[in-house]
Amino acid sequence: MSFRNQVLEIFAQKNILKHGNFITKSGRRTSFFINMGEFNSGKTLSLLAKLYAEQIVRNYGASIQNIFGPSYKGISLAVSVSYELSRMTGKDVSFTFDRKEVKDHGERGMLVGYQYKGGERVVIVEDILTSGMSLRQSCALLRKLQIDLKGAVVGVDRGEPGQIMQSAKNEMEKEYSLPIHALFHIDELKNIS
């Protein structure tokens, strides 16, 4: 069975798509919630990371040097995807994630993990794409660092409008000239739950 089908089985088994009344991080009301935090064991996270890694190689090639994950849920994604991508390509792929606040002691700064020098080929991994708010923040941060931002892979595209009413995915791709790929679209997940 493919990694994709195994991950879809986990979505169904763990009831990751929940129905009810919720408010998203971007402040929108919604009738469903996707809890990617349910990928919380070595086995489930490894399967999800393999699917991200396959998507990265398929869409960006095997030359990606770093995986960036926005805090908090992007942290485990960045670590596990860099590991699986390293295994898949035979190259040492680093990971980086950001902090919610700048640390002024010990390992100072906003970033944890690999520290960018400039020119690195980077892909952002994100759990959910709703309005694009989190992805925008990551893009703004990374663009300042003069890296070669190749694109982003999100676990689920909710298919919701962005700031100007086209899909958030299309809006982000146009605004940042950045290809964004989703492992799943919400319509596919609604059919399994």
Which residues are catalytically annotated?
Answer: 103, 105
Q: What is the DSSP letter of 115?
A: P
CA 127 from centre of chain: 4
Alpha-carbon dihedral sign for residues 100, 104, 105, 108: positive
One-character DSSP codes across 136-181:
HHHHHHHHTTT-EEEEEEEEEE---B-TTSSBHHHHHHHHHT--EE
* Euclidean distance between CA atoms 23 and 102, whole angstroms: 27
